Structure 1
Amino acid sequence: MQEECVTESMPEFAPEPTPDEADTDLVVVTGVSGGGRSTVARALENVGFYVVDNLPQALMLDMAQLAFEAGGAARRTAMVLDVRSRAFSTDLAGAVRALKDRGFSPRVVFVDADDEVLIRRFESVRRSHPLQGDGRLADGIAAERKLLEEAREQSDVIIDTSHLNVNQLRRRVEELFGGEDARRLRITVLSFGFKYGLPPDADYVLDARFLPNPFWVPELREHTGLEEGVSGYVLGQEGAHDFVATYASLIATTAPGFEREGKRYLTVAIGCTGGKHRSVAIAEELTAQLRDIRLSAHSSHRDLGRE
């Protein structure tokens, strides 16, 4: 009797899409001198862009292609142009069209400000306008506006910085290009031992030495604050939970203000004598409470294992 051969068909998997030029996040930043391009560039770096400053327009397409081929973090690239780069070419609109013809989707940001504001800014730093020559500041500003007229008209985003301070301008860029996570304050809760010195980068320093030291408890001495026995002992002492809750509340209260002022990283250092027992247990508990109230926090233990 002939056996019937049954062939099982293999499941078909759709191939992963191959990235193309449109997947490269390109931002072109231009605008008037004194408008705030440098601040925009730093803000873009803060939200993960690879920033190329003073790039000649003739190299924009080459730079975009390099970013695409490099992949990874380079897929978010910002190109910042000013009058020095425009010495190689004045056809920004043509350079942007060339990018689009190649398949890229650049976003053009134009940074602007009122003439009176620009004059005050130049005078405050006592420098001349790049296009001023032997004329007045106003002449240089007018010449640059003429040069940038078409670029301004064809830009995707115009940011008027006339009434923005540095922090407000940075927040505006982060709102446009960073997403919510890029603007969040990241908190490091760092345990340390006072006998090894204070952490130089600490924003807050908390002292856990008011709690009894597990070092003097023989069965806990060789263990650390990461272990349940030590952690339970430390947190079970009078005042320990109030200590953690008080500082969690303080950090929660101040975190929005730090974010508004542009601070992205906060280090809360908690010390005990050697950085093995009390500070480690308190740091872990404080980190957990901060996470419970939806703050971005992680723990780190500088001196653990050092003894």
Structure 2
Amino acid sequence: MDLDTVRTFVAAADAGRFHEAAAELAVTQQAVSKRIAALERDLGVRLFTRTARGADLTIDGQAFLPHARELLRVAERAAASVGAGRRQLRVDVLTSRGAGSGLMRDFHRTHPEVELDVLMLFDIDTAVASIRSGAIDASFRAVTVPGRPLPEDVVSARVLDEPLELLTGPGHALAGARSVTVARLAGHRIWMPGIVPGTEWAAYYDALLAAYDLSIEATGPNFGSDALLDTIADTPALATFTGARTRLVWPAGYGLRRIPVTDPTPVYPHSLLWHRDNPHPALAALRAHLAAAAPARGAPGTWTPAWAAPH
């Protein structure tokens, strides 16, 4: 059913005269008559009878009028739901405990008026496809992995360099260190069962291993961060890497240690990805917020893969 004909019917019903409805709608009286006739053909009933005073609703017209008003209200609500600033900003943060999630919480505290839909997509290919299709507005990722450049319509901006920390149990040989150099990690078993081949974080750690004499074990099933913390707490021979902005919570009795890594400090390069033609005003606000809060990138004494997007 054409909404213009419904809108014309309501205007004519309220005015009681086709020429007054035409003036209200800024169309000719002939256009009003044609629209009403088209609507009557669609419905198969007469909606108006012409009188000396103008146009009166028939019984069918009276029955249709409240439904016509509701159709217009529904159409207005539907349009408003995707109007500027009305739709939720949909952002992929990869994991609920990661740095991207923390950045979005900071944004929410600063801009509580922005409605958010935060979700977690596993790999960068899915995230990029979702950005291009309009399923999401933005995603936090590390880019660009060698051989996998971003499409031309997807833009990225580096928003956070997150230092790595060594996470150990209380019995680990390095548990008492205030910091540990990359060179000192050689020969220690670093266990990271969450590394999945083909992901951007796998590419990051591959580059780290190639740059320094380190070994990472990705063996065994990945039962999640809680199970990882259990194992690290109970196994003096194992340690793992975690981001300094990654939120981890463990029982007090575990005695886990978060130890900064230095000389150089490996940093994980988080970028925000979005479609260059995305007009959502809250996306612009998010980009401005992240740009204002982002520390300097490529600081002396830090390391990132050569492929990490610099901007």
TM-score normalised by length of structure 1? 0.24
- Between Structure 1 and Structure 2, whose CA radius of gyration is higher? 2
Larger fraction in helix: 1
Larger fraction in strand: 2
